[in-house]
A and B are shown apart, each in its own frame.
Chain A
Amino acid sequence: MIIAQQKNIKDIAGMVEACKKVLLVGCAGCVTVCLSGGEKETEILASALRIMRKLAGRPLVTSTYIATRQCDPEFITPLDELVGAADAVISLACGVGVQYLAERYPEKWVVPAQDTLFAGGSTEHGRWDEKCGLCGDCILHRTGGICPVSRCAKSILNGPCGGSQNGRCEVDKDVACAWQLIYDHMKALGRLQDLTAVQPLKDWSKARDGGPRKALREDLMAK
């Protein structure tokens, strides 16, 4: 899923400094699961902003809505009436949701409450780790199910580099060396031989480097 983390509340308040009435839109998708933009977090952010503004002597009126998915037009249309009454919309979705709202309401000031971090998952309670680099050309079958593109600080395809020590990455002792993990896993599978071939250059045109990407399923498209 997409992992996001709320921005500093002062920064969020600053984006709607001039507004008297704001609509906060949470999302019931990934950001609910990673506990940063679901119903609970949306209500907490709304009350925190109201308190801040009340203390500053300039009360703020808030309303809230939780979209089933902000990355889907179908779930945004119910917002039409709520949006009209607000001076600004604060999205607690990932960057995708923010853009869907901004596109749907071009006359409205739409701002992000979150920093969208990465594609990953929970590894312990309260911790999420990046697992996928969204590179568009999966090589997990060559690396024992561990992604060096996102989990090696240098995205090395023929690792590990000389900074791997005691299973840790040189960049951060809290981060496992992806190539140590790959080595251990391939060894356990009896497939170390697979690591001897020089991995070819990666085709980054399939990643974002090739420009904004699209995925087409012509069989599903209207004729």
Chain B
Amino acid sequence: MKYLSKLQAILESGHFAVTAEIGPPKHASAHGVIHNAQILKDFVDAANITDNQTAIVRISSIAAGVHVLASGLEPVVQMTCRDRNRIAIQADLLGAYSLGMRNLLCISGDHQKFGNHPTAKNVFDLDSIQLVNLMSKMRDDKKFFCGEEIKEHEPRFFIGAVANPFADPFEYRVDRLEKKIEAGAQFIQTQCIFDMERFERFMEMVRARGLDQRAHILAGVTPLKSWRAAKYIQTGVAGMIVPDALVDRLKNAADPKSEGVAVCIEQVKYIKENIKGVHGVHIMAIAWEAIVPEIVKQAGLFPRPVTHHLF
């Protein structure tokens, strides 16, 4: 079977996928994006390009995705519901597909309060689950969100969504994941895992409902550079859980950076070997893209499989 998306080809062939994340810059040069894409391209199967993450203005996900694609790495376009109404979302996604983007991750988006334009008007014309649903209908039923027929050249994205096992209510997180899969999500990337025990409980419920058979779940991991970063995430970021033991481990380390990398490698190995139903890892090395090859190699995930997709 031929796939339009390399990420989809990897996942559907049963390989353990590796994705990373590239955060576009707060200026108008693609130099850094291209540099990061070149560093990552042989070590990951695709890379998410964040869409104004934490509501800070940056080069757009789609524009940065064009540079990433041209650098030989498959992009995963992120689309938040915060900044665009249903007209702008569809227009931008038609454009993204025309530019060669084949993977789409649908998210609500961080509230603008956290960014550098907290006085902005937010949109949220639709939410992430509706976006997943309507983009899959656009592909499968050839219809715009309003129901009007797309006569030809409908965009055929491989559609993903996110899941956060660390937010509340915990027991509803699996219901909501099911809702996303029901809506059409084909792959799922999770929020950064620091509390492995909670993630395992989450995956138990996921497997009990067979959701791992219906979508490809990629476990999110993040290498931390310092105990302060761990502490900040623990206390300052809603919907994330960092165990004290991890903060202490980084605090007591002689070289916190390499300790952070070691923790991340341990996590990836543990997830791959012990947690059934996980089909890959999504490495979110925030502002630290260059460390990803090291993590991939040491976790035994290099070289990456070769696929026969229609790139």
Contacts and interface: CB of A to CB of B under 8 A. Distances in A.
Contacts of A156: 108, 124, 127-128
Contacts of B167: 160-165
Interface stretch (B168-176, B284-292, B298-306): B168-176
B130 interface: yes
Contact of B239 (A158, A162, A202): A162
Contact of B175 (A167, A171, A192): A192
B145 interface: yes
Interface string A147-175: 00000011111111111111111110000
Contacts of A170: 110-111, 238-239
A210 interface: no
Contacts of B108: 154, 156, 161-162
B168 to A, nearest CB: 5
A191 to B, nearest CB: 13
A156 to B, nearest CB: 4
Interface of A: 153-171, 177, 180, 183-184, 192, 195-196, 198-202, 204
Prevailing SS type, chain B contact patch = loop
B78 interface: no
Contacts of A169: 238
A201 B145 contact: yes
B111 A153 contact: yes
A171 B111 contact: yes
Contacts of A155: 124, 127
Given A196-B179, A198-B183, A158 B238 contact: no
Contacts of B145: 201
25 contacts: A153-B113, A154-B108, A156-B128, A157-B130, A158-B128, A158-B176, A159-B127, A160-B167, A160-B168, A161-B108, A162-B162, A162-B164, A163-B167, A164-B169, A167-B168, A170-B111, A170-B238, A183-B169, A184-B169, A198-B183, A199-B129, A199-B130, A200-B130, A202-B126, A204-B125
A198 B134 CA distance: 11
Nearest to A166: B168
A180 B179 contact: no
Interface in B150-169: 162, 164, 166-169
B165 to A, nearest CB: 9
B239 A198 contact: no
Contacts of B110: 163, 170
B98 interface: no
B282 interface: no
A173 to B, nearest CB: 8
A155 B123 CA distance: 9
Contact of A164 (B109, B127, B239): B239
A153 B238 CA distance: 14
Contacts of B168: 160, 164-167, 177, 180
